[in-house]
Amino acid sequence: MLISQVYDPTDPNIASDVQFGVTPALTGNYVRHDEAHPEGDDGPWFSLDYVYTMEPGEAVLPKAPIK
């Protein structure tokens, strides 16, 4: 399984996320920049420096019929 979404830890609804159960490993430190983006867009913009970590696991396929 690969989770590729990173949540904002300051989101007021993060504790009540019912879809994935957000853990600290799925939160990132978004940094706001008020200056123009280096590629030319006007500010503000946000950056995120995050390392995705893959952990070994066991593949499990659903049993038919899938409802």
pLDDT by residue (tens digit) across 4-53?
788 888 888 887 876 667 888 888 999 999 988 888 888 799 999 888 87
For residue 7, give every residue at least 6 positions away whose Cβ sits within 8 Å of its Cβ, in sequence order, or none.
Answer: 14, 17, 22, 26, 27, 28
Instruction: Give the per-residue pLDDT at 24.
Output: 81
Burial of 22 (0-12, 13-18, 19+ CB in 10 A): buried
| C-alpha to C-alpha distance for 48 and 41, rounded to whole angstroms | 17
Whether the bond between 65 and the residue before it is cis, its omega within 30 degrees of 0, is yes
Q: Are 46 and 31 in contact (CB under 8 A)?
A: yes
